[in-house]
Amino acid sequence: MTDQENAPTEELAAPEAKEAKPPKAAKVKNDKEAEASSDGEGKVKKESKVAKISEADYLKELARLHVELVKLQEWVKVKGLKVVVLFEGRDAAGKGGVIKRITEPLSPRIARVVALGTPTEREKTQWYFQRYVPHLPGAGEMCLFDRSWYNRAGVERVMGFCTDDEYREFLRSCPEFERMLVRSGIILIKYWFSVSDKEQEKRFLSRTKDPTKQWKVSPMDLESRMRWEEYSRAKDAMFSYTDTKQNPWYVVDADIKTHARLNCISHLLSQIPYEDLLTLKDPLKLPPRKKSSGYVRPPIDEQTWVPYKYHG
């Protein structure tokens, strides 16, 4: 696909979507390949079981990647880079879990998460991209969008929250909008988290039984589950117009959460050349405390303490 604008037709028929190659999977337990089946995401999976990384190996590799993320953060800060990372995909595909693992070791002042709610009545009357522009990064910042302007090509299109004209205009203008961001000096990286029908159902059922995750299941999620095929068509059309040479979509195989997290973080680190500036710094030295000048602490029983409920 070229970087040139490809305007939608009046019938909204999108050209054939470019098939994205999933990342290399972990080792297969046996050499017998089962019959391939489509997951509705435009990719083909094998029914043979894939060996899942052990918890110990996962945590060890995640810790190593966290160190690299901190190095990248320092590079972004010192060099004044502006980074935007988009996380898109089906509901329960694991976007939030990956974002959480990325930001865990980072400073919230440098790496910000943008997760916008439903647009207000005023925002609905604005230029579509306008509500996202104030959240773009300044120098030395990374902005991680937990869903983004691609809502228009996904949920808004499928659920009828936008008109056909608004949808067509988005497909026309989005590639140019993203080229404008890149020309302004922003590093734009786009991820699509691909999850199979079976795995999404499993995660939805798990959420309904877990009191700490029930808030994640909304009526919109249940509706999206019913409209699986419509979302597949919308995703294919979105890719056909916005998967450009300059700003491609990177597809993450998200059926195994731990694999998706490590693969995505590793790929993100590979997209921004950086150097280790931390080891070049002199080790931090704590200055000595000043001598006491007669300070007397007030009685501790005059303060309101949190009850010491948990202890050994």
Res. 8 pLDDT band, cuts 50 70 90? low
What is the distance between the alpha carbons of residues 234 and 8, in angstroms, rounded to a whole number?
A: 13
Res. 285 pLDDT band, cuts 50 70 90? confident
Q: Tell whether the model's pLDDT for residue 284 goes beyond 90.
A: no
Mean pLDDT computed over 208-233: 86
Domain boundaries, the chain: 49-120+127-271
52/2: higher pLDDT: 52
pLDDT over 90 for what percent of the chain?
Answer: 69
Residue 71 CB-density burial (10 A; 0-12 exposed, 13-18 middle, 19+ buried): middle
- Residue type at position 149: W
* Residue 114 CB partners (closer than 8 Å, separation 6+): 132, 135, 143, 144, 145, 146, 148
Is the four-CA dihedral 96, 102, 107, 111 of positive or negative sign? negative
Give tens-digit pLDDT for 66-75: 999 999 999 9
If you average pLDDT over every residue of the chain, what do you get? 87
Q: Where are the beta strands (DSSP E) in the chain?
A: 36-38, 44-46, 82-89, 111-114, 141-146, 186-194, 249-253
CATH topology of domain 49-120+127-271: Rossmann fold (3.40.50)
Res. 204 pLDDT band, cuts 50 70 90? confident
pLDDT of residue 281: 75
* Residue 42 CB partners (closer than 8 Å, separation 6+): 17, 19, 20, 232, 235, 236, 239
pLDDT of residue 48: 53
Mean pLDDT computed over 172-199: 97
Give tens-digit pLDDT for 85-109: 999 999 999 999 999 999 999 999 9
Q: Tell whether the model's pLDDT for residue 152 goes beyond 60.
A: yes
Res. 13 pLDDT band, cuts 50 70 90? very low
Q: Tell whether the model's pLDDT for residue 150 goes beyond 70.
A: yes
To the nearest 10 degrees (0 to 180), the angle between helices 164-183 and 228-242 is 40
Res. 241 pLDDT band, cuts 50 70 90? very high
Res. 41 pLDDT band, cuts 50 70 90? low
Res. 312 pLDDT band, cuts 50 70 90? confident
- Residue type at position 214: Q
304/13: higher pLDDT: 304
Res. 24 pLDDT band, cuts 50 70 90? very low
pLDDT of residue 282: 78
Q: Tell whether the model's pLDDT for residue 5 goes beyond 90.
A: no
